């Protein structure tokens, strides 16, 4: 997982003497940017800031629907690009390439199939396959998002996933639990992983100050995230996607050229054995199945039943129920554009296998002594981590192969991956906090209050992110990060079971859902604690872990936990009073097309309604809608200092108050926002493209299986 983080912290040598190693030793010293590289970075920042300012100006930033859902005005291409870049953080370039260097192509199935690998640890046969952070079945699950889940979410008229669960089951406890859990996971896994991986790459490759570079990136991302909301985030994500794909493809071609293209990679990877090995072990040998994605169901590091079925459980949580991903699809102007975004995102998610996993393997083939080291003392001297140095694979390739000018491009690629992931997480976290947490305690919160609270929460996240860096940096051998990343993997299966049953099973009740979540939480935490207490052995060490860890792969555990949680949910639900049929209108797959009458009886909290305000809120002007009042407000605004005007614009407080709509106008607007109707032409276009995408995915699976 994230043992690469230990490269920045103190280690312990075999003799027990604490040492501090320079992680750049494996990458060469004296690396500096040429004027051309600096020029490329300047152009990159100018474009990103320019797009951020442009999108912030054109965004509807003073309403819930405008700020958190981009006014439901997004088209398919920025949605698809944002789905890609939101999912591809800087940790992906470090972790996915490192895991590919250690174990071969199988981890690429996590991209075609689902998971987001975080910085990994281990090597060869001792690689911990749990070093991947959820993200597989991307192609299949992105289509499931657009064709199955999003229609239900749109019909329900929700902004957040916890809000959907509240509508579906009633009560408050599930909504609060899911909101708090999501925020904890975002802060302590996604944000910290991406920030540190990106800053680590910059420091390893360039020697820049860790805190200065991190703070600079955070300030740039926070400014346009706070100012422009989801509109700014999605458009800048689209730009970052172009930069990421273009730069990574350049490095891929240079790497393949160096090893003799794919046949040369096969030959040189199998021969990538370091000079320093551990006697009487085989962990220095590349895996014999390194170029196969489907591996032995018992002895394989990523067994094929787990890759196909267990990973699908985790992928469903990541792609179909996670706020960061789903929020992009909910911003679509209609269902067809949401489906089109899923198709484009699916095509883009095919690429990481080629421009991240294979370059990681190329790096090991070219530099086996550093990237493929196995001796703990040697690895300690190279990268500061005794468990292995596979995570330096991508930075090593960038520093060694990229010529002047293009090195700056690759730095921009990593920055793009980092910034796009952070902006998405910041925006989604502020949405969860404002809609699901703040409104829980401030039921009469006005529209302006929610906008300000959401923006201030982004500032809070930035501060927490910076304060979290030294904690990660000082963690010994990445054990703290092992613990943190395990939380995600072992809490995802119960959530997957709950959402699947909520959407497809009308008999599920609130007590069943709640106690199923509690059961899944207890079992998942038990497995996580065991894994943290018994870390995987280094090369040459005896494996003293319990059988439940050593012989029961975590992907199998994920599948079992999902099934057990579903059984608990159904059992408790059958013992409780069913939810009346009329309460399920437009909240399940079977009732998604129900007439709007039931939905309109109660104004949904936090949904982008006609006046773009949650229930109980007053117009931003405090209810003053008369012309005289508006004139007085405008007169006072002209007398303010320019600094106050700029502050009001930044916080979305500028402009005249929204006109309060009549009940009939509110109902009409609500029907429009929750409509899942599609034009027949675009329905056929989306369906044909979905079939083509699946055909490409099946071909690639068959070719590399």
Q: Which of 187-196, 640-649, 688-697 has the highest mean pLDDT?
A: 688-697
Calpha distance 481→472 (Å, rounded): 7
- Higher-pLDDT residue of 416 and 613 is 416
Asked whether the predicted pLDDT for residue 77 surpasses 70, the reply is yes
Asked whether the predicted pLDDT for residue 416 surpasses 60, the reply is yes
pLDDT of residue 662: 63
The per-residue pLDDT for range 143-185, each reduced to its tens digit, is 999 999 999 999 998 888 999 999 999 888 999 899 988 888 8
pLDDT of residue 128: 41
Q: Do 130 and 1 form a contact (C-beta atoms < 8 A)?
A: yes
First to last CA, the chain: 24
Share of the chain above pLDDT 70, in %: 71
Q: Specify the 3-state DSSP secondary structure of 203.
A: helix
| Rounded average pLDDT over 296-318 | 81
Hey, how many other C-beta atoms are within 10 angstroms of the C-beta on 72? 18
pLDDT of residue 598: 45
Q: Specify the 3-state DSSP secondary structure of 671.
A: helix
Q: At what angle do helices 335-348 and 323-330 cross, to 10 degrees?
A: 130
Asked whether the predicted pLDDT for residue 476 surpasses 50, the reply is no
Least-confidence region, from 19-28, 89-98, 329-338, 623-632: 19-28
Calpha distance 92→417 (Å, rounded): 8
User: Given pLDDT bands bounded at 50, 70 and 90, which one contains residue 123?
Assistant: very low
| Rounded average pLDDT over 99-109 | 73
Asked whether the predicted pLDDT for residue 478 surpasses 70, the reply is no
Asked whether the predicted pLDDT for residue 602 surpasses 50, the reply is no
User: Given pLDDT bands bounded at 50, 70 and 90, which one contains residue 633?
Assistant: low
Least-confidence region, from 130-144, 458-472, 501-515, 635-649: 635-649
Q: Specify the 3-state DSSP secondary structure of 680.
A: helix
The CB-side HSE value for 477 (13 A sphere, CA atoms) comes to 17
pLDDT of residue 331: 86
Instruction: Write down the mean pLDDT value for the chain.
Output: 75
pLDDT of residue 472: 59
Least-confidence region, from 266-275, 532-541, 680-689: 532-541
| Rounded average pLDDT over 5-27 | 37
| Rounded average pLDDT over 512-536 | 88
Asked whether the predicted pLDDT for residue 565 surpasses 60, the reply is yes
Share of the chain above pLDDT 90, in %: 15
- Higher-pLDDT residue of 159 and 664 is 159
CA 273 to mean position of chain CA atoms: 34
pLDDT of residue 468: 72
Q: Do 191 and 472 form a contact (C-beta atoms < 8 A)?
A: no
Q: What are the two backbone dihedrals, phi and then psi, of residue 115, each rounded to the nearest 5 degrees?
A: -85, 155
CA 578 to mean position of chain CA atoms: 35
User: Given pLDDT bands bounded at 50, 70 and 90, which one contains residue 204?
Assistant: low
Calpha distance 210→472 (Å, rounded): 12
Asked whether the predicted pLDDT for residue 614 surpasses 50, the reply is no
- Higher-pLDDT residue of 428 and 629 is 428
User: Given pLDDT bands bounded at 50, 70 and 90, which one contains residue 625?
Assistant: very low
Q: Sketch out the chain's domains with CATH numbers.
A: 3-472 (1.20.1730.10)
Q: Do 612 and 229 form a contact (C-beta atoms < 8 A)?
A: no
pTM beyond 0.85, yes or no: no
User: How long, in residues, is the chain?
Assistant: 705
Q: Do 152 and 335 form a contact (C-beta atoms < 8 A)?
A: no
- Higher-pLDDT residue of 3 and 328 is 328
Nearest to 537 by CA among 23, 8, 124: 124
Q: Do 396 and 561 form a contact (C-beta atoms < 8 A)?
A: no
| Rounded average pLDDT over 381-398 | 76
Least-confidence region, from 157-161, 188-192, 531-535, 652-656: 652-656
Calpha distance 528→537 (Å, rounded): 17
The per-residue pLDDT for range 534-553, each reduced to its tens digit, is 777 766 677 788 887 777 88
Asked whether the predicted pLDDT for residue 90 surpasses 70, the reply is no
- Higher-pLDDT residue of 288 and 609 is 288
């Amino acid at each position: 997982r994230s043992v690469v983080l230990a490269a920045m912290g103190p280690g312990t040598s075999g003799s027990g003497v604490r040492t501090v190693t320079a992680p750049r030793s494996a990458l060469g010293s004296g690396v500096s940017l040429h004027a051309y590289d600096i020029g490329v970075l300047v152009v990159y920042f100018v474009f990103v800031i320019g797009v951020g300012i442009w999108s912030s100006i054109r965004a509807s930033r003073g309403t819930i629907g405008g700020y958190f859902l981009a006014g439901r005005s997004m088209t398919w291409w920025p949605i698809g690009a944002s789905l890609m870049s939101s999912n591809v953080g800087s940790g992906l370039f470090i972790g996915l390439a490192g895991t590919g260097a250690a174990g071969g192509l199988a981890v690429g199935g996590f991209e075609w199939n689902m998971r987001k690998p975080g910085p990994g640890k281990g090597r060869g046969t001792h690689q911990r396959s749990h070093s991947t952070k959820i993200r597989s079945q991307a192609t299949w699950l992105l289509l499931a998002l657009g064709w199955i889940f999003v229609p239900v979410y749109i019909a329900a008229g929700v902004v957040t996933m916890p809000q959907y669960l509240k509508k579906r089951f009633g009560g408050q406890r599930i909504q609060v639990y899911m909101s708090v859990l999501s925020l904890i996971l975002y802060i302590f896994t996604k944000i910290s992983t991406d920030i540190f991986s990106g800053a680590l790459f910059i420091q390893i490759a360039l020697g820049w100050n860790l805190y200065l570079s991190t703070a600079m990136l955070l300030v740039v991302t926070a400014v346009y995230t706070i100012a422009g909301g989801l509109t700014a985030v999605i458009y800048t994500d689209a730009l970052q996607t172009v930069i990421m794909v273009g730069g990574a493809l350049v490095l891929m071609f240079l790497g393949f050229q160096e090893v003799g293209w794919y046949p040369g990679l096969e030959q040189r990877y199998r021969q990538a054995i370091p000079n320093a090995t551990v006697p009487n072990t085989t962990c220095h040998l590349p895996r014999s199945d390194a170029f196969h994605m489907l591996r032995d169901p018992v002895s394989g590091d990523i067994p094929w039943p787990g890759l196909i079925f267990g990973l699908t459980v985790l992928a469903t949580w990541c792609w179909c129920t996670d706020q960061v991903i789903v929020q992009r699809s909910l911003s679509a102007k209609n269902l067809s554009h949401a489906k089109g975004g899923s198709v484009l995102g699916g095509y883009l998610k095919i690429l990481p296998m080629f421009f991240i996993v294979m370059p990681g393997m190329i790096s090991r083939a070219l530099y086996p002594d550093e990237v493929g080291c196995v001796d703990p003392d040697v690895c300690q001297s190279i990268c500061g981590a005794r468990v292995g140095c596979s995570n330096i694979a991508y930075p090593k390739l960038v520093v060694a192969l990229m010529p002047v000018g293009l090195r700056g491009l690759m730095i921009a690629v990593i920055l793009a991956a980092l910034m796009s992931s952070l902006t998405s997480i910041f925006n989604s976290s502020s949405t969860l906090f404002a809609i699901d947490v703040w409104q829980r305690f401030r039921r009469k919160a006005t529209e302006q209050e929610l906008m300000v609270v959401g923006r201030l929460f982004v500032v809070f996240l930035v501060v927490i992110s910076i304060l979290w860096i030294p904690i990660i940096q000082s963690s010994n051998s990445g054990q703290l990060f092992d613990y943190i990343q395990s939380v995600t993997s072992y809490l995802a299966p119960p959530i997957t079971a709950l959402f699947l049953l909520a959407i497809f099973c009308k008999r599920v009740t609130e007590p069943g859902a709640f106690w199923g979540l509690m059961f899944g939480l207890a079992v998942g935490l038990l497995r996580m604690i065991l894994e943290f207490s018994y870390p995987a052995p280094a090369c040459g060490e005896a494996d003293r872990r319990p059988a439940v860890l050593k012989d029961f792969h975590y992907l199998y555990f994920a599948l079992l936990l999902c099934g057990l949680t579903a059984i608990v949910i159904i059992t408790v639900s059958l013992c409780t009073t069913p939810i009346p049929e009329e309460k399920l209108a437009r909240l399940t797959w079977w009732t998604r097309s129900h007439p709007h009458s039931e939905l309109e009886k109660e104004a949904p909290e936090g949904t982008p309604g006609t006046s773009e305000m949650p229930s109980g809120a007053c117009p931003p002007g405090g209810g003053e809608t008369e012309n005289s009042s508006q004139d007085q407000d405008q007169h006072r605004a002209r007398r303010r200092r320019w600094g106050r005007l700029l502050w009001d614009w930044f916080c979305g407080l500028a402009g005249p108050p929204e006109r309060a709509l009549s009940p009939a106008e509110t109902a009409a607007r609500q029907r429009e926002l929750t409509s899942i109707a599609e034009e027949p032409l675009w329905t056929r276009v989306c369906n044909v493209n979905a079939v083509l995408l699946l055909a490409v995915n099946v071909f690639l699976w068959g070719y590399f299986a």
